[in-house]
Amino acid sequence: MFDVYLNHRRDLLVVRKGFPIPRSDAASRWRKKKRVVSVSEEISRAVQRQGYYLRKLSTKHMR
């Protein structure tokens, strides 16, 4: 039902199965996860609403 991708910064991208990666994020090198059993309701709703779900890990560290 969903394709899940990770990039080298460990960001997460979820799209509907068979749909292309959004253009703004196509520049990153995404690697497809081999198997995804399920995703959370929050992610599922976001994919239905906007076509994809993107989560970026924060690179800012507090001192």
In this predicted model, what pLDDT tens digit does every residue of 13-59 receive, in sequence order?
A: 999 988 988 876 556 788 998 888 889 999 999 999 999 999 987 56
Total count of domains within the chain: 1
Q: Residue 29: how many CA atoms within 13 Å on its side-chain side?
A: 2
Pairwise CA distance, residues 49 & 8, whole Å: 26
Residue 62 forms part of a structural domain: no
Residue 61 forms part of a structural domain: no
Q: Residue 46: how many CA atoms within 13 Å on its side-chain side?
A: 13
Higher pLDDT, 62 or 50: 50
Identify the DSSP state of 7: -
Residues in Cβ contact with 42 at an 8 Å cutoff, skipping those fewer than 6 apart: none
Q: What is the pTM of this model?
A: 0.79
Range of the domain at 35: 2-55
pLDDT reported for residue 27: 61
Residue 63 forms part of a structural domain: no
pLDDT reported for residue 14: 93
Residue 6 forms part of a structural domain: yes
Pairwise CA distance, residues 52 & 30, whole Å: 14
Residue 35 forms part of a structural domain: yes
pLDDT reported for residue 25: 58
